[in-house]
């Protein structure tokens, strides 16, 4: 008896026909829409990132730190004209300014302007200057950071610093407008402590 092998029938796949111009245009439009949607998502992400950065920067500047630039020579040789600084505005919310701190302050005679000076005396101190030598409570202050060519030979005081005020001076003693001229600085006018010189990079340092 003859045996017949079972065969499997395979259906032939239909041949792909040419894509019509209308279909090609539709596919191109779909791809374009997808690209635009992806671009829109990217732009939204970037906008959120930039908006967040702006908010953080505003909070930092308002409540924490401030970028400042030195103008003039009154703090030479410690700071130079056009040095860039970071000012810590939180420092004096935690404690009072300390003797020797370099601070950013509002100019008492015109608060629209700001200066950078060094704290020399605080409220209750008796201060006098004799031939450029500064005595705080009758003790000669260490001013070794002032080179001989920047020293002054003026006299001032003696005088007691009033409550709530500070006496400040520039390190360039013979070329600085400071408390010797416009007297005392209210504590509320001290913006913050100069924490860092970040530019020029070659002279960057903490204070």
Please check whether residue 40 lies inside any domain of the structure. Answer: no
Q: Is residue 8 one of the residues assigned to a domain?
A: no
Name the domain count of the chain: 1
Question: Does some domain include residue 201?
Answer: yes
Residue numbers of the domain that contains 150: 64-206
Closest CA to 88 of 197, 179, 172: 197
Q: Is the preceding peptide bond at 62 cis, omega within 30 degrees of 0? A: no
**Considering the domain boundaries, does residue 110 fall inside one?**
yes
Structure tokens at 81: 């004209």
pLDDT in tens, the chain (207 residues): 444 444 444 444 444 556 677 777 888 788 887 888 788 787 777 766 775 556 555 656 666 899 999 999 999 999 999 999 999 999 998 899 999 999 999 999 999 999 999 999 999 999 999 999 999 999 999 999 999 999 999 999 999 999 999 999 999 999 999 999 999 999 999 999 999 999 999 999 999
Catalytic positions, written as ranges: 74, 117
Question: Do residues 160 and 124 make contact, with C-beta atoms less than 8 angstroms apart?
Answer: yes
CATH number at residue 92: 2.10.109.10
């Amino acid at each position: 008896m003859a045996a017949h092998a079972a065969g499997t029938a395979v259906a032939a796949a239909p041949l792909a026909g040419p894509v019509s111009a209308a279909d090609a245009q539709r596919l191109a439009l779909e791809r374009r829409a997808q690209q635009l949607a992806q671009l829109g998502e990217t732009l939204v992400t970037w906008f959120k990132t930039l908006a967040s950065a702006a908010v953080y920067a505003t909070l930092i500047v308002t409540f924490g730190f401030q970028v400042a630039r030195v103008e003039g020579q009154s703090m030479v040789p410690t700071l130079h004209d056009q040095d860039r600084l970071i000012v810590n505005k939180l420092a004096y919310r935690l404690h009072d300014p300390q003797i020797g701190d370099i601070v950013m302050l509002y100019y008492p005679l015109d608060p629209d302007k700001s200066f950078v000076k060094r704290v020399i005396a605080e409220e209750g101190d008796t201060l006098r200057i004799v031939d450029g030598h500064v005595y705080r409570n009758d003790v000669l202050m260490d001013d070794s950071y002032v080179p001989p060519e920047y020293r002054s030979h003026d006299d001032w005081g003696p005088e007691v610093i009033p409550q709530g005020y500070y006496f400040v001076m520039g390190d360039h003693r013979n070329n600085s407008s400071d408390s010797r001229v416009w007297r005392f600085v209210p504590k509320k006018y001290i913006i913050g402590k100069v924490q860092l010189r970040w530019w020029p990079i070659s002279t960057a340092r903490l204070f």
